[in-house]
Amino acid sequence: MKKLRRKTLAAASAVTLGVGLAVTGGLAPAASAAGPDTTYLVLAPQGAKTDKAAARVAAAKGTVVADYHQIGVLVVRSTNPDFATDVAGAGVDSVASTADLGTAIEEGETLEVSAAMAANATADPTKEPLFGQQWDMPMIDVPQAHAVNAGSAGVVVGVLDSGISSTHPDLADQIAKDKSTSCLGGVVDTTESAWNPTTSDHGTHVAGTIAAAVNGLGVTGVAPGVKVAAVKVVNDDGYIFPEAAICGFVWAAEHGMRVTNNSYYIDPWELNCRNDARQRPVWQAVQRAIRYSQSKGVLNVASAGNANYDLAHKNTDTGSPNTGTPEVREDLTSACLVLPGEAPGVVTVSAVGPTGEKSYYSSYGQGVVEVTAPGGDTRFRTQGARSTLTDAILSTTFNTATRTNGWGYKQGTSMSSPHAAGVAALALSAHPGMTPGQLTSFLERTSVAKSCPDGVYNPVPLIPSGPNAYDATCSGGQRNSFYGAGMVNAYNVVK
């Protein structure tokens, strides 16, 4: 993370030194050594104002860089190595450093498509130049949906991600620029350059799946009539820190967004444990932000994850933290959750490939996954031996090295989640009065149920990581652990 300049602390230190000289008449006592410039989340008691907490922050030699008074959360920077201890007291419910709590976004593989292939003027979404390679759109009946309702410009989907290219020809007219921002460091920056991509085109790809225009160029989105807003939460190193996600949820709530897409998880621990003293304040702060957004009419949609993990039976975590040497954490309980995917009220989406079956990598879980959607599966054709990128999801891209726009393939639940978010946006376009809870229920009722495969499921036994590396067993009946209520369907929500 970029460091903030600490002018106020330097001034305070100078005053302290002056007082020391005046009182002692000699050399002042040595000041305590400063620590690294660290970000903290400071939580006021639930329902309380943040003024008392802010006063304690100042007394503990911290600087408030963002005050989310709506949810009682302060984002603070401090070089005081004892800040977490010093800030405790009346007006402060809990505090946590977010150092090392950023999680790297999963980019997946990308294959670029030439601009020449992407241009062919037409007004028919099925005749968009690259529509023939968008196997995902017919799978969820997008052409039939567009014949009825392609989306309303009054519906804005917040893309909490790495930014959106504002110059992409398939997206330039689709972005609600007045609702776009960077949330890096937990601080709002609405300048256009701030919310454009810098080192990752992940958000541009996600945005295209939701709302790429029907304009005779490239691809079509699920809901080309709606708008997307860039809410940048991924920093230049590819990490999502809790303070950025909190900022994103509150920003979406305050700026009239009806849906957000969240193709990431928070924390280096894939499972964030409420019964862990260090992780609990982060969990509480994120929960407050999500609940606040829901109270303002926002439906939050999130990816299930790409670990082929049964989220309903979280016993062991062997791949975290992703910021250092992974540890084995055993005997985990239901107190450990994937955020934001497992937060109450969030629609969690698993992924399927071109066959409609669970993608080999997609996490799952009975009672956790609400719906499924196309996310790509590049390994099923060869049983895992080799990758076929055209079986991934084709969407808009931005080459951050050459600063050029394009189209390309990615796969992951990062790609399935925006399909569901796009369908939710179509549903709101056709039925604008629905609350988040009603919309969740509607998405589930209109999904096409999918049955569990028999026995142990593994479409990639020849994958280099081993013949049983992606074994998974589906549980449940019409609503099950692989697919939840079923495959989202764009036509069913508008007909």
- Residue 255 is among the residues annotated as catalytic for this protein: no
| Closest to 347 measured CA to CA, from 276, 418, 248 | 418
Question: Of 166, 182, 200, 202, which is the active-site residue?
Answer: 202
**Rounded to 5°, angle at Cα 274 from 271 and 275:** 110
Question: Of 161, 201, 310, 391, which is the active-site residue?
Answer: 161
- Residue 414 is among the residues annotated as catalytic for this protein: yes
Cβ contact 210:157 at 8 Å: yes
Token pair listed for 345: 């009220």
3-class state of residue 480 by DSSP: strand
Question: Of 97, 303, 359, 414, which is the active-site residue?
Answer: 414
Please state the φ and ψ torsions of residue 159, each to the nearest 5 degrees: -100, 95
| Closest to 417 measured CA to CA, from 356, 357, 350 | 350
Cβ contact 158:257 at 8 Å: yes
Q: Omega into 321 within 30° of 0, i.e. cis?
A: yes
Placement of tokens 């890096």 in the chain: 184
DSSP state of 32: P
Q: How far are the Cα atoms of 128, 205, 358 from residue 362, in angstroms, in the given order? A: 29, 19, 7
Cβ contact 212:152 at 8 Å: no
Token pair listed for 264: 């990431």
Please state the φ and ψ torsions of residue 385, each to the nearest 5 degrees: -65, -40
Token pair listed for 228: 């997307």
- Residue 317 is among the residues annotated as catalytic for this protein: no
Token pair listed for 301: 């949609």
Q: Which positions are catalytic?
A: 161, 202, 414
